[in-house]
Amino acid sequence: MFFVDTLEIEGLGNRSYLAGGAGTALVVDPPRDIDQVITAAARRGVRIVLVAETHVHNDYVSGGLELARVTGARYLVPAGASVAFTRTPVTDGDTYAVDDGLTVRAIATPGHTPHHTSYVLAEGGREVAAFTGGSLLIGTVGRPDLVDPRLTGELARAQHSSAHRLADELDDEVAVLPTHGFGSFCSAAPAEGAATTIGQERTGNAVLTQDVDTFVAGLLSGLDDVPAYYAHMSPANAAGPAPVDLTAPKPADAEEIASRLAAGEWVVDLRNRVAFAQGHVAGSVNFEGDGKLATYLAWLMPWGKPVTLLAETSEQVAEAQRELVRVGIDRPAAAATGEPAHWIRPGERLASFPRARFADLAAARERGEPVVVLDVRRDAERARGSVAGSVHIPVHALPQRIGEVPDGVVWVHCAGGTRAATAASLLDAAGRAVVAIDDAFDAAAEAGLTAPAPESTG
């Protein structure tokens, strides 16, 4: 009997897979922190003999090269990918033994990247699962615009062809096991559900129900923003990522925290947004440790800027480190844990700002208070509705555009509160008076604040 274990990389919205039989196994699209993969294999009692990449990833640093080195496994990488290290180049139709009676076959599925390859697992000659990477996802496909703008249209059409090839070659009951689509910005649209099959996708996925022109038009019109750090992921993966170092960073005292802030470095507070608003080191930025920390911190922070982490416990720092190495932020400059009162020098005071709900904003407007409403959601979110009279600057663009925020008290909101807290911390660090709206956006309509169409300054 074969098995397939799913390794959730929740912060990045991806999955990796360990698949095998009684003694040996295959790993598909491993994360950079390979210790969890090795642990999963040990739990199964199997030896990893194959490590396979569906493509050179655009959204995270792969652990494939290091996992293959540590385990002695063959490292399968699509032949069309230009990489600087020794690997087994995979071409369409290549088949590899995973375990007794268990094989994996490569199928060229260009679209997400020109060299994208899917892998189909077969037991006793019967195909049972397809590892589709960024090709066929649950209800959608991987986005085609991450490689080169000049190739986007061509790759969108290739996605359509690749999905149809999978549907034509595989039986309805074959499980579809994608890498992207669980919150990753590599997905062309949010995936719905946690599991699917070729048969389900055949009837429910636009790529398989629409003609190519209709599908491509819809795909290209719905693409969301691209995280800025993506530009650094593919080159890192092509060069061959270094092993990770997850040992604890050096401790920082109040003097060092102040010095790093004065030097223009980033000091990131990982505590929840309520605690941060109540009291924090002036100039620090709030990224909740249980949110999409790696995605948004890597997106907002200037690439290569030293970062110091502040948290309640060393465990929170360690978990943040694990997330950050996945996107190429290899080592925090320093870290501090405990109470925020210990992070400031004698004579200094913690900074703070108020939190509110949309009903409070409506009341402030009714009282005639001059308020600035800042919407930090992405363009696609705002297109579905906005607060009347609000200014729109997506949170990922705020560090560069903070000077565009009009004078006055800034009431900042997102869709639920997490990004608003980050934006509020950026504004607070810049010396602006701010109120963080910690509320679901549906409450804006209930408070009578929404407009039928977006109003934007850019």
140-156 pLDDT tens trace:
999 999 999 999 999 99
CA distance 182 to 102: 28
Task: Report the pLDDT averaged over residues 113-139.
Answer: 97
25: left (phi over 0), alpha (psi -120 to 50) or beta: beta
User: What's the distance, CA 357 to chain centroid?
Assistant: 28
For residue 454, the model assigns a pLDDT of 42
pLDDT at position 457 over 50: no
Residue 391: pLDDT band (50, 70, 90) is: very high
Which DSSP category does 275 fall into? H
Strand 14-20 to 3-9 pairing = antiparallel
Residue 452: pLDDT band (50, 70, 90) is: low
Task: Choose among 170, 114, 111: nearest CA to 142.
Answer: 111
Task: Report the pLDDT averaged over residues 238-247.
Answer: 95
Question: Under a CB-based contact definition with an 8 Å cutoff, are residues 279 and 350 in contact?
Answer: yes
The rounded percent of the chain whose pLDDT value lies above 90 is: 93
- Provide CB contacts within 8 A for 397, sequence distance 6+: none
pLDDT at position 453 over 70: no
Strand 307-311 to 450-451 pairing = unpaired
Which DSSP category does 406 fall into? P
CA distance 153 to 162: 14
Task: Report the pLDDT averaged over residues 417-429.
Answer: 98
- Integer angstrom CA distances of residue 5 from 15, 137, 305: 10, 18, 36
The mean-pLDDT minimum among 141-145, 186-190, 445-449 falls in 186-190
The whole-chain average pLDDT of the chain stands at: 95
Question: Under a CB-based contact definition with an 8 Å cutoff, are residues 75 and 64 in contact?
Answer: yes
pLDDT at position 191 over 90: no
In the block, tokens 């074969």 appear at 2
CA distance 425 to 398: 11
Task: Report the pLDDT averaged over residues 364-377.
Answer: 96
The mean-pLDDT minimum among 176-180, 184-188, 255-259 falls in 184-188
User: What's the distance, CA 327 to chain centroid?
Assistant: 9
pLDDT at position 444 over 80: yes
Residue 458: pLDDT band (50, 70, 90) is: very low
For residue 455, the model assigns a pLDDT of 45
Question: Under a CB-based contact definition with an 8 Å cutoff, are residues 32 and 203 in contact?
Answer: no
For residue 220, the model assigns a pLDDT of 96
